[in-house]
Amino acid sequence: MNPFVYGEVTPVAAFVDREAELDRLAGDLAAGQKVFLISPRRYGKSSLVAQAMRALTRRGLLTVEVTVSSYSSYVAFLEGYARALVASEARFDRLTAWLKELFTAVRPEVRIEGDTAGRGGVSLSFPSVRTARDEARLAAEVFALPARVAATRGRRLAVALDEFQAIGGFDGGQVEHALRAAVQTQRDVGYVFAGSEPTLMERMLGRRRPFYKAGPVMRLGRIPPDRFAEFIEGRFRRTGFKPEPGLGAAVVDLAGNLPYDVQRLAHETWDDVKVAGRRTVGLDDLHATLRRLLGEYDTLFEQTWQGLTLAQRAALRAAVVEDGRGLLASDIRARHRLGGPSTVQASLAALVRHEIVMREGDHYVVVDSLLREWVARTTY
């Protein structure tokens, strides 16, 4: 089986590095801290959180994970969150009594689908909630639930709210206040608020905002390239291939050391050499796979490119060719016909907003390494 995994939460077997981060996150959650976990998309936040939750389950905690961005409304989020919390009670025959204990202000409509073995699913809804005031009351009730669950079950709880930046879309600020007020009193409940849009998340932690100094902040960085390279060659070997020296490093480099891109390129290369019935895997194989992928993504990238203004296209091309450095310098602006500094700045800001490039220290990187290669090879 292909040992490389992308596009989903990383299973234990494909999880690399992050020992220090994992220790810290699990430790903080077990201690009831409110942790903020921040990085751009596809760095491995959800994978790290899932790993921490597995460790905490082994230590006897109850764990609850909810992806905030997957709900289409505030009430839908509150229902989903309540359902996830309630689902931590494994015995559905006790649920009805338990629910009476849990909900005091707003009564849910409950549907229990159970079997005779005592396993079941439960769905909660709050059809009586109509006005903004009802919503606020329901929110207060749901945000208080984790502490009640911990108390009635007699166990500590760890809650993960993933893609947390999406909370801002629900009701303009009130959610943050309500949630902050609730969580700060819950000593037996650890929270991790994981967010993918670093600027939004950092703003949420600002001085005048409810979550200012609410708890420790973890900024997830990249996986050390040598560890990642070693993992790749090791997995090729373990599955019967003979990687040429330097293969792992080349994958990491071509993928811009973005965890998702690294696993994607390794996974697709593995598939190709498997189908070809090869034993040794070298840089030629890697590049053949890259060409195949570029072909498959061509329509998508063409669309992205067409959606940009001319000034943005020029700035993107320059970022690719110049490795994201010195884009405001006059010789580089002249070489790529970028126009004045303010034009370049506006274009780069738009590219950042569209999550096509991101700023990293003093330079810009193209987020998707395939798009970077596509721009380098097919645009002028």
Ligand X SMILES: Nc1ncnc2c1ncn2[C@@H]1O[C@H](COP(=O)(O)OP(=O)(O)O)[C@@H](O)[C@H]1O
C-alpha distance from residue 18 to each of 50, 52, 235, 236, 344 (Å) = 13, 11, 18, 21, 37
Contact partner at residue 18 from Mg ion, ligand X, none, CB < 5 to 8 Å by partner kind: ligand X
Residues within window 28-47 making contact with ligand X, judged by CB under 6 A: 39, 41-47
Which amino acid is residue 258, in one-letter code?
A: L
What mask, x for binding ligand X by CB under 6 A, covers residues 156 to 195?
Answer: ----------------------------------------
Residue closer to ligand X (CB basis): 49 or 318: 49
Among ligand X, Mg ion, none, partner that 215 touches (CB below 5 to 8 angstroms by kind): none
Choices 46-54, 131-139, 184-192, 307-315; region in contact with Mg ion by CB under 5 A: 46-54
Of 45 and 156, the one with the shorter C-beta distance to ligand X is 45
CB contact at 8 A, 294 and 40: no
If one asks whether residue 235 binds ligand X (CB under 6 A), the answer comes out as: no
Question: Residue 43 Cβ, how far from ligand X at the closest point, in Å?
Answer: 4
Instruction: Check binding of 257 to Mg ion (CB under 5 A).
Output: no
| Residue 371 contacts ligand X per CB under 6 A | no
The smaller minimum CB distance to Mg ion, of residues 5 and 136, is found at: 5
39 binds Mg ion (CB under 5 A): no
How far apart CA 175 and CA 172 sit, in angstroms, is 7
Of 32, 108, 168, 259, the residue at the interface with ligand X (CB under 6 A) is 259
Helix axes 247-254, 225-238, angle to 10 degrees: 120
Residue type, 80: G
Q: Classify 256 as helix, strand or coil.
A: coil
- Which of positions 284-343 make contact with ligand X (CB under 6 A)? none
Cα–Cα distances in angstroms (integers) from residue 19 to residues 95, 196, 230, in the given order: 37, 21, 16
Q: Are 165 and 197 in contact (CB under 8 A)?
A: yes
Q: Which residues in the 230-249 window bind Mg ion by CB under 5 A?
A: none
Would you state the structure tokens that stand for residue 362, as one six-digit string? Answer: 């003093």
Please, are residues 292 and 315 in contact by the beta-carbon 8 Å criterion?
A: no
* # of chain residues touching Mg ion (CB under 5 A): 1
Q: Least CB distance from residue 9 to Mg ion, whole Å?
A: 8
Q: Which of 14, 62, 142, 144 binds ligand X (CB under 6 A)?
A: 14
**Does 46 participate in binding Mg ion (rule CB under 5 A)?**
yes
Q: Which of 3, 18, 233, 333 binds ligand X (CB under 6 A)?
A: 18
Q: Is 81 in the site for ligand X (CB under 6 A)?
A: no
Q: How far is it, in rounded angstroms, from Cα 274 to Cα 243?
A: 13
Binding at 195: pick from ligand X, Mg ion, none (beta carbon under 5-8 Å per type): none
Contact stretch for ligand X (CB under 6 A) within 78-86, 257-265, 305-313, 330-338: 257-265
To 10 degrees, what angle do helices 369-378 and 259-275 make? Answer: 70
Q: How far apart are CA 10 and CA 193, in angstroms?
A: 19
347 binds, among ligand X, Mg ion, none (CB under 5 to 8 A by kind): none
User: In the complex, which residue's CB is closest to ligand X?
Assistant: 44
Among 2, 8, 109, 310, binds ligand X (CB under 6 A): 8
With CB under 6 A as the contact rule, which of the stretches 12-20, 66-74, 94-102, 301-309 interacts with ligand X?
Answer: 12-20
How far apart, in whole angstroms, are the C-alpha atoms of residue 282 and residue 285? 5
Say which residues have a Cβ less than 8 Å from residue 166's Cβ, sequence separation at least 6: 68, 69, 71
Binds ligand X (CB under 6 A): choice among 5, 30, 110, 283: 5
Closer to ligand X at the Cβ: 344 or 357?
A: 357
Residue ranges of E strands in the chain = 34-38, 62-67, 109-114, 120-125, 157-162, 189-195, 217-219, 242-243, 280-281, 357-360, 363-366
Question: How many CB atoms are closer than 10 A to CB 134?
Answer: 14
Cβ proximity to ligand X, 52 vs 95, nearer residue:
52
| Cα distance between residue 49 and residue 194, in whole Å | 8
Instruction: State the residues that interact with Mg ion by CB under 5 A.
Output: 46
Judged by the rule CB under 6 A, the positions of this chain that interact with ligand X are 5-10, 14-18, 39, 41-47, 196, 259-260, 263
